[in-house]
Amino acid sequence: MRGNILDQPLDALVTAANSGLLGGGGVDGAIHRAAGPDLLAACREVGGCPTGDAVATAPGALPLTCVVHAVGPIYGAHDGAEADLLASAHRRALEVAAAAGARSVAFPAISCGVYGYPLAEAAPIGLGTIAAFLDDHPEVELVRYVLYGREEYEAFAHALEALRAARG
């Protein structure tokens, strides 16, 4: 759906973090502002997270099971490993959300803002990775992409149609 991820009453919100986990702009800035200083304190305790990985923390002031900090790749900065890193950031985000007990998870378009990943390339990678995870993990009941702008929404809607057609 199109919207602001902060308006989603799901168990876990995924944020598009950097590997220092010290907050930033974009969706991460919005989530940190809404969650308050306890979220940054929880991130400081974790200390960091490599690209392609994710960690769950307590959600600060947000009424969630957890916030999941997923670190996507910077487009063009990983010698061709970008697609694998984007897929693993999604997979790990779902793994740590499920391990924290979340049954519903909201995702932003990881790496598609400051990190420059083209929407048309990122959308099928993210959606395909999530669909494959859900096939094997019935304990996660709902995953929702929350796309901020019209362009993001259209790219993901198009990729979802293609994925549905491919999966029959």
Q: What is the binding site for ligand AR6 (CB under 6 A)?
A: 4-6, 16-18, 24-28, 30, 72, 108-115, 146, 148-149, 152
Residue 28 annotated to the active site:
yes
Closer by beta carbon to ligand AR6, 114 or else 163: 114
State the nearest-atom distance from the C-beta of 138 to ligand AR6, in Å.
27
* Alpha carbons 25 and 164: distance in angstroms, whole number: 33
Phi, psi of 41 (to 5 degrees): -60, -40
Closer by beta carbon to ligand AR6, 19 or else 137: 19
* Alpha carbons 127 and 93: distance in angstroms, whole number: 13
| Alpha-carbon separation of residue 114 from 16, 31, 82, 109 (angstroms) | 10, 16, 15, 11
State the nearest-atom distance from the C-beta of 29 to ligand AR6, in Å.
6
Task: Write out the two tokens for 13.
Answer: 């919100």
Closer by beta carbon to ligand AR6, 84 or else 139: 84
Q: Active-site residue numbers?
A: 28
